[in-house]
Each structure stands twice: as C-alpha cells, then as structure tokens.
Structure 1
Amino acid sequence: MADRQNWAPLEVSPSSVGAGATPHGLVDHLRGIGDLTGLLAREKAVVFRGFHVTPAELDEVLDLLLPNRLAYVHGNSPRTKVGKNVYTSTEYPPEFTISMHNEMSYAHQWPARLAFFCDQQPETGGATPVVDGVRWLAALDPEVREAFAGGVCYRQNLHGGRGLGKSWQDTFETDSRAEVESFLDGTGASWEWTAQDSLRVSQVRPATARHPITGAEVWFNQADQWHAAGLGDETAAALYQIMPEEDLPQSVTFADGSPIPAEHITQIRDRGLESAVDVDWYTGDLLLIDNVLVGHGRRPFTGPRRVLVAMSD
C-alpha cells in the first residue's frame, strides 16, 4: 500500500485480477478473496470498476461485500430506502458539496463498512471524495486537536411528522415510541419527549477513534456537519434568526457543553476536503470503504446522479 501522503483507494478491474468484465466476473472474484476484512484494513478503500454491475445483480454483490447489511436507524441524513437495507446517498441539492465524514460517527454504534454503487453517473462532477482519517487528524492544528480531546456532545431535535429536519419516525424507521425508547436506552444517550410529539436526544461521543485491527487513531466525529458554521456564514445567520441553536434539528458543542468556535469548524471541514482523493463515478462501479479508516463526502454535480449506499457491521 502507498504511504499515507500518497494514499488512494485500490482500484480493481477485470484486467487487474484476471476476471470477466461482467457482474458475474466480479462475483467470482469476490468469492475467491480469502480475507476481505484484512484487505480492507490494509487498503482502506477499494474501487471495483469495469464490471458493469446493474441493479439486478446488486444484491448478490452486496451480500459478498457486506455480510450483515444494516438498516439506517438513527441516521441523520435525508435518504430513501430502495431495497434490502439499500438507500439513496444523501439527498442534498447537487450544487452543494457534502463535507467529509465517517458514517454515523455520532452514534453509539456505527457501520464498519460502506458500499456505494453507481446506478447512474452524472453528466459532470459528482465524485465521492475519500480521506484517510489519520491524514485528516494530522492536518488539523495542534490547538484544534487539543480542544476536542474531551469529545463532543451532539443534540438532535426530531419532530413528530411536521417541522424542520427529519422526524423521529424517519430517523428510527418506526412509528412506535416504545421501540425508539428501547433503542435509545441501549445507547448511553439522554432523551426526552417534548411538545407536539417531538423528541430531543443528547449524546457525548469521542472526537477520535482507533481502528480495531490496525490500531490507527483517526479523526472520527461529525462536529463540522452538526455545527451551523459548517453550513456557511449566510446559512448559519439565517438559522439563528429562526430559532436558538439548542432548538435546531441538530447541533453540537464540546462534551462539557461549551461552544465550539466557528473557526475550528471551518478548519476541520476545509482540511478534510483538501486531504481527500476523489473517486469519479461511472455507471456500474462500486466503492467499498472501511468506515473507521476512511471518511467520505460528495462533490457538486450536474445532470441526474444516482448512487446507492449500504452498510454492514
């Protein structure tokens, strides 16, 4: 594997592995990999390109890449479920960049792997940038790393069907309060039902994590995506005019409740994107990433773009 400064995902093509340039060629190749977990721990991310996978073969491929597909329960991004624990990628307008993040790093339990599938490539742009979490951590100023040493506190305000942001029903994929309460009881989060069938959740999490196999310490939080400053000055100002920060659909502070400076947030966001490697999409491609070692995002695009995502423990 290349050194960290020159790291890029491993690209697997039919010619590089002596397989047929078909979905079944990819399936046969994946069945022949003895230790996919070890491969992913070494390479961090793998692109499967040129196998021309279609939605008809996607389940068979995902069953090999993700042995235990997970539901997107307690996920905060807007998505649509389109198959057996298969979802659209984050549904934000195409002109916006989605900053780097590790999926559900704010939660008590996160997926170990993510697989992305390009069902339709965009006309222009739309790459999925991926960043080595060790490099992202090293790119931050020492005072920023020190400020986050105690962790962060994430807060969610989930409405009951009408309001800004996601509802608790969509977030937890259930209409049952009892099921939500049972789930939250096992997460270490604090929560309360508020007026108009809304739910407020608060949880303290670390700012970094260590990979269970390699032991590498990586930047592993979504402070820049939960903080209004990560949305840009104009958007942040508009939100603060509508409601106080504690009433926003999501917000974040340091673990002790003290505010995170906006300049820390913009540094985290910008240096993550600057340290990233773009994975361009062609219809039928797949990208598999280790969700602890690698963060991901999205570049702006034009034309229709459909990238699906699934996750596994």
Structure 2
Amino acid sequence: MAAYSSKFFKIGSCDGQKVVDGEVMPLVLEPADPAKKDVESLVEALGNNKEWFDQMITKNSAVLLRGFDVGNAVNFNDVVEACDWEDIRYVGPAPRTHIHKRIWTANEGPLSEFIYYHHEMVLIKEFPKKVILFCEIPPPEGGETPFVPSFKVTEKMLEEFPEEVEEIEKRGLMYSFSAPTRNTTASMRGRGWEDAFATSDKQEAERRANALGMEIEWLADGGAKTILRPRALTRVFEGRNGRRMWFNTVVGMHGKEQSSATMADGTELPLKLVKRCEEIIEEESIQFKWQKGDVAFFDNWALLHGRRPSLPPRKVLVATCK
C-alpha cells in the first residue's frame, strides 16, 4: 500500500476482502482518531484530500468508509458533495425514488430477487465514473452488494473462449429491453419509460432515447421496447493499467423475460459461453456485510456490482457521479 498516505484515515479490514493484482478490494478506511468520526470531520477530510481519495478509488476499485457517523441521506449527500464530482442522472430500468439533493434510493425491486452484476448505465453513451452507496439500515440477513473486478472476467473468458470473444468484440452486441408505461416496484426492472425519459410524450421520449443511443418500438399495451446497438463487449479505460474491462451486460440480459442480448446483427450468442461467463463472474465476486453508516465508493469503470437477495428491512441509498 505504498500509495496510501493520510493522517485522518487508518486502514481497516472487513470480512470478504480479496487481494487482486496486489490491491485490496475493498480498501477499508476508518477514522484514525475515534474522536473525529463525526460527519463534519469526515467532510472536511475528504474536501482537503480530494485528489488523494480519488486516486485510492481508482487504485483499489472499491473503497469502504466505515466507522463514521453517517446517519441519513443529508449526511450522505454532504459526503458525496465533499468529493466535488459532477452529478449524473440515472437512466435505466431500476425503480428509484429521489430522497435529497443528489441522493436516491437504490433499486426498489423486491428484496427477494437477485439483482445481477452490471456496470451502472453500461448501455448508455454517458455512464458514471463513480457509484456511491450508503447503508442506512443494514439487512438482518443477505442483501450484500457483491462486486467483481471486471478485467478478471475478460482474462478468464479470453483463456477459455478466445475466438468467440474476439468475434463478438468485432461484430458488436445488440440489446433489447421492454419497459412499462409507469413505474412499478413489483419488479427489479420496473421503471416505466415515462420516468426514465422524464416525459409522457412519445415523440419527446423517442428524441431523448435517440440522444442516448437507443431506438424505441412502442408496444400494444402502451409500454416501450428499447433497442441498443451496436455495443462493445469490452472497454479499456485510461489510468487502469491497460486492463480490458468486461463492459457489457450479456449475462444479465440474455434470454430474460423483459430483455435480450445477441450479436449486433441478431445472431444468437453461444449458450455455453453465456453460462460459463455467469460462473466466472460469481467465482470472481467479492462481498462484505453492510454495517449501518457504511459508505462504499465503486469505480464503475472497473467493477460490476449487484445485490444479493435480502430479508427486510434494508435501506441502501445511492449517488452516481461523473
């Protein structure tokens, strides 16, 4: 941890940590002085160490602030704003509710359902660089937010399916997704198109969808089918050691009731490739148990993340940043 240097934070640990390419994921930071665990001290420390803290997130992909008195959405918003990253509006299928300023609920779909691993807004032209999560009410059982170093998935897929991976990369991907007219929390993908595009006017929705790189087909029940193509299989981002990220949502959307994932020309993906990819992602996953007040910073360019099924209550809030 040669790059680590801070007088305000000390390095902690949590169950489930892994060392990946020499870096601990997540890096756990706790107050160095127990008398300075209040939100005001944390906000001041983050404000005074913006560049360093940003480097820690890029270096370790995941940073968990633990042991601070972050108690509610207002506190969480103060922490987010202290980092001085630009906000980015969420576009996607998850039903969410605005809570305070830059803070929203995480996916409000049924806690009994597993939210599959994904890079946030991976299908949109502009996606967050950071996903920040705050645990206000930890679940009594389950409900972890597992994450996966995306480049490890690419490495293994190239080892096992080198020709197939490069062929898909060359041809590109096509996704489709069906959304209802209005929001419903009966599904983890229950966000309606009116909310997603912030309009009830179909022509305006089409214009906004097109600006995001989507086509829309209108369904007989008033819902919308969005089509996205071509999309990349992997991406390489600056400052991440040339790692080739598995920057797609093939497994999460392939062959599902509301969605599909194929090659850009409509050719079906090899089922054995999709199934093995699902296994690899789970093999490489990392997770910790949420504690009240935890704030987790994910490098969205480097990590896939999801949500384990949970017993209620569970309250996790989210902010997304450029």
* Pairwise same-fold verdict (TM > 0.5): yes
Distance 1:19 1:28, change over 3 A: farther
Correspondent of 1:102 among 119, 135, 147: 119
Q: Distance in 1 between matches of 2:237 and 2:35?
A: 31
Identical pairs, percent:
28
- Are 2:299 and 1:290 aligned? yes
Distance 1:66 1:99, change over 3 A: farther
Distance 1:261 1:39, change over 3 A: same
Match of 1:275 in 2: 284
Match of 1:148 in 2: 168
Q: Distance in 1 between matches of 2:183 and 2:307?
A: 28
- AA in 1 matched with 2:264: A
Correspondent of 1:24 among 40, 45, 49: 40
Report matched runs for 1:72-221 at 5 Å.
Answer: 72-73=90-91, 75-140=92-157, 141-143=160-162, 144-149=164-169, 150-161=171-182, 165-204=190-229, 205-214=231-240, 215-221=242-248
Structure showing greater relative contact order (alpha-carbon pairs closer than 8 Å, 6 or more residues apart) = 1
State the Cα distance separating 1:152 from its structure 2 match.
Answer: 1.2
State the Cα distance separating 1:146 from its structure 2 match.
Answer: 3.2
The answer as to whether partners of 1:19 and 1:29 remain within 8 angstroms in 2 is no
Distance 1:194 1:99, change over 3 A: closer
State the Cα distance separating 1:162 from its structure 2 match.
Answer: 8.9
Q: Distance in 2 between matches of 1:93 and 1:21?
A: 34
Secondary structure class of the residue paired with 1:202: strand
- AA in 1 matched with 2:254: H
Tell me how large the CA RMSD over aligned residues is.
Answer: 2.5
The answer as to whether partners of 1:114 and 1:290 remain within 8 angstroms in 2 is yes
Q: Distance in 1 between matches of 2:109 and 2:137?
A: 16
State the Cα distance separating 1:283 from its structure 2 match.
Answer: 0.7
Q: Distance in 1 between matches of 2:22 and 2:109?
A: 30
Map Cα deviations across residues 138-160 of structure 1 (whole Å, 9 max, x no partner): 13222453353232101123333
- Are 2:311 and 1:302 aligned? yes
The answer as to whether partners of 1:68 and 1:312 remain within 8 angstroms in 2 is yes
State the Cα distance separating 1:47 from its structure 2 match.
Answer: 0.4
Secondary structure class of the residue paired with 1:270: helix
State the Cα distance separating 1:18 from its structure 2 match.
Answer: 7.8
Distance 1:180 1:267, change over 3 A: same
Correspondent of 1:37 among 54, 58, 62: 54
Q: Distance in 1 between matches of 2:127 and 2:87?
A: 12
Map Cα deviations across residues 156-183 of structure 1 (whole Å, 9 max, x no partner): 2333349995421122233233442332
The answer as to whether partners of 1:127 and 1:279 remain within 8 angstroms in 2 is yes
Q: Distance in 2 between matches of 1:86 and 1:173?
A: 18
Secondary structure class of the residue paired with 1:272: helix
The answer as to whether partners of 1:160 and 1:197 remain within 8 angstroms in 2 is yes
Q: Which has the higher helix share?
A: 1
Secondary structure class of the residue paired with 1:310: strand
State the Cα distance separating 1:27 from its structure 2 match.
Answer: 0.8
Gaps (5+ residues) in structure 2?
A: 2-18
Correspondent of 2:272 among 260, 263, 273: 263
- AA in 1 matched with 2:109: Y
Correspondent of 1:223 among 244, 250, 254: 250
- Are 2:108 and 1:69 aligned? no
Map Cα deviations across residues 36-55 of structure 1 (whole Å, 9 max, x no partner): 43332212111000002011
Q: Distance in 2 between matches of 1:40 and 1:146?
A: 30
Distance 1:6 1:76, change over 3 A: same
Distance 1:114 1:82, change over 3 A: same
Report matched runs for 1:223-242 at 5 Å.
Answer: 223-228=250-255, 239=257
Map Cα deviations across residues 227-258 of structure 1 (whole Å, 9 max, x no partner): 236xxxxxxxxx5xxxxxxxxx3222111211
Secondary structure class of the residue paired with 2:316: strand
Alignment length, in residue pairs? 293
The answer as to whether partners of 2:183 and 2:195 remain within 8 angstroms in 1 is no
Q: Distance in 2 between matches of 1:5 and 1:142?
A: 26
The answer as to whether partners of 1:87 and 1:308 remain within 8 angstroms in 2 is yes
